Amino acid sequence: MYAISLGDDGAALRPLEPWRAEEFLAHIDRGREFIGRHNSLPDVVTDLASSRAFLQGYADRTAADTGRIAGIWSDGTLVGAVVLRRLDAAQGVAEAGCWLEPAGTGRGLVTRSARILIDWAFRERGVQRVEWCVASVNAPSIAVARRLGMTHEGTLRQSFAVRGRRYDEEIWSVLASEWHAAHQG
Instruction: Give the mean pLDDT of the chain.
Output: 95
What is the per-residue pLDDT across 9-34, written as a single tens digit (0 to 9) for each? 889 999 999 999 999 999 999 999 99
What is the per-residue pLDDT across 48-57, written as a single tens digit (0 to 9) for each? 999 999 999 9
Burial of 114 (0-12, 13-18, 19+ CB in 10 A): buried
What b/e sequence results for 63-94 when a residue is b if at least 16 CB atoms lie within 10 Å of its CB, and e otherwise? eeebbbbbbbbbeeebbbbbbbbbbbeeebbb
Strand partners, 151: 173
Domains and CATH numbers, the chain: 4-182 (3.40.630.30)
For residue 143, pLDDT over 80 is answered with: yes
| pTM of the model as a whole | 0.94
How far from 183 is each of 119, 123, 148, CA to CA, in Å?
Answer: 9, 11, 10
Amino acid letter, 39: N
